[in-house]
Amino acid sequence: MNKFFSKIKNIFSAEELRLRLLNTLYYLMVFRLGSYIVLPGIDSSKLSSDIKGIFGLLNTFLGGAFSNASIFALGIMPYISASIIMHLFTIMIPYFQKINQEGDSGRNKLNQITKILTIFIAFFQSLGYLLTFIPNEIIIIKKSFFLSFSIIILVTGTIFCVWLGEKITDQGVGNGISLLIMTGIISSLPRALLSEIISLGIKGFLFFLVEIFFLFLIIMLITMFIQAKRKIPIKYPNQICQDNTYNEEKQNIPLKINSTGVMPIIFSQALMFIPSLLQKFFFKNNEYISSLLVSFSDFTTWQYNTLLSVLIIIFTFFYTSITMNPIEMANKIKKNKGFIPGIEPGRSTAEFIRKIINKIILPSSFFLVIVATLPSLAYFFGINKAFSRFYGGTSLLIIVSVLLEIIEKVKSYLLVDQYNNIENIDKL
């Protein structure tokens, strides 16, 4: 315990780190405040917070801004969509590959293109949101006028959220966009926790402790999974000694077991929105097809989880194949005059790396499937729907990943501060 308080003291004694943490908290507070500012022209007393199906998950990511019909109702989701599209473009389209290889100037160009694409995506998503989730009875002004200025407000809100994320990245701690997503998710936790406590009552206190224990266990397993690496040993001839032998420098290539991160689940869940949209716009009056599509939109059904699992496995293999190139890795090792012990440089090295990657992909995809389906399993065992979302899936993966990144950033700032203090002492 003393070590913990000592760490906290060191964090706040480091001037730059303290300032960055305060900046981060300030921008996150602005973000959360915006999620409660309702769009003008709406009777907020008639808003329904009960959003079912896959859109309930989206509402969790946005910290309730979606159901509040706030000016941040879309949050940074259009930017996430644009970033995913641009990421695929830079891998699959030669023109964008060339821009990406231009260094900082190329990345700035791609960033500008991503922001322009974000505006277009935000426009169409805001129109769909207003037509689908804002019923006519809660609009208290002329609908055409409401739609026109609400679209402008929602698009502007998305741009402002992206700006907040960039400010956090520049002046705060960690990746700003990731922190905004995590903040939205965590903001839904107290309400979900309270609803679970109320539903269990005093008699269910023991059961609640068991739930918390299993949640802690799942968090530990996900943390181990995220940080797990498969190291490939590499040797580099450093210099020639007097007896004409090489002094070899030993290094390794750390291949992450979860090299795809949360992307396969995000891609899969993005496609899982399609059945809900089809049900709302095309098959609303067809009872059989409508009920079938609804079952594919509810994360607690076996139909949803079966389709989601298949999509996650497919996207894990697809995303790994386009982001990890064994031939390119082998060429870099050969270019730096390195080699894998017992493996010939060039094609043999590429084949060896490919075999290692193939061995990693399958267990990684299965683990992602388990994590993605854990919320439905938690719901099956009696945990309420709101709280069960935190037992796995994208929510928990994002929270754990972002917190681990923040911890690493804080450690690096503390090391820099310690180094500066030593330098100052030496000067004295």
- Mean pLDDT in each 10-residue stretch from start to end of the chain (428 residues)? 64 75 88 84 69 61 71 83 79 78 78 87 85 77 83 90 87 81 81 80 79 86 82 68 50 76 73 69 68 72 82 81 74 75 77 81 84 83 78 78 81 72 56
Residues 35 and 177 in one domain: yes
Residues 119 and 254 in one domain: no
Q: Last residue of a domain, which of 124, 159, 187?
A: 187
Residues 134 and 250 in one domain: no
Q: Looking at residue 408, what is its pLDDT?
A: 80
Any domain includes 311: yes
Residues 147 and 253 in one domain: no
Residues 288 and 139 in one domain: no
Residues 21 and 158 in one domain: yes
Residues 225 and 135 in one domain: no
Q: Looking at residue 240, what is its pLDDT?
A: 47
Residues 340 and 298 in one domain: yes
Name the helix (H) or strand (E) containing 230.
strand 229-240
Say how many C-beta atoms besides its own lie within 10 A of residue 51's C-beta.
Answer: 16
Phi, psi of 425 (to 5 degrees): -65, -40
Residues 181 and 123 in one domain: yes
Any domain includes 422: no
Q: Which two tokens stand for residue 358?
A: 């193939």
Residues 44 and 182 in one domain: yes
Any domain includes 162: yes
End-to-end CA distance of the chain: 34
Q: Looking at residue 243, what is its pLDDT?
A: 47
If you write DSSP's letter for every residue of 339-391 in order, what string do you get?
B-TTS-TTHHHHHHHHHHHHHHHHHHHHHHHHHHHHHHHHHHTT--HHHHGGG
CATH number, domain at 68?
A: 1.10.3370.10
Residues 178 and 270 in one domain: no
Any domain includes 378: yes
Any domain includes 406: no
Any domain includes 290: yes
C-alpha of 120 from chain center? 22
Name the helix (H) or strand (E) containing 312.
helix 302-323
Residues 70 and 161 in one domain: yes
pTM: 0.76
Q: Looking at residue 277, what is its pLDDT?
A: 67
Range of the domain at 107: 14-187
- The total of structural domains in the chain comes to 2
Residue where the block lists tokens 């996207």: 315
**CB of 281 within 8 A of CB of 391?**
no
Any domain includes 428: no
**CB of 78 within 8 A of CB of 120?**
no
Q: Last residue of a domain, which of 187, 212, 235?
A: 187
Any domain includes 172: yes
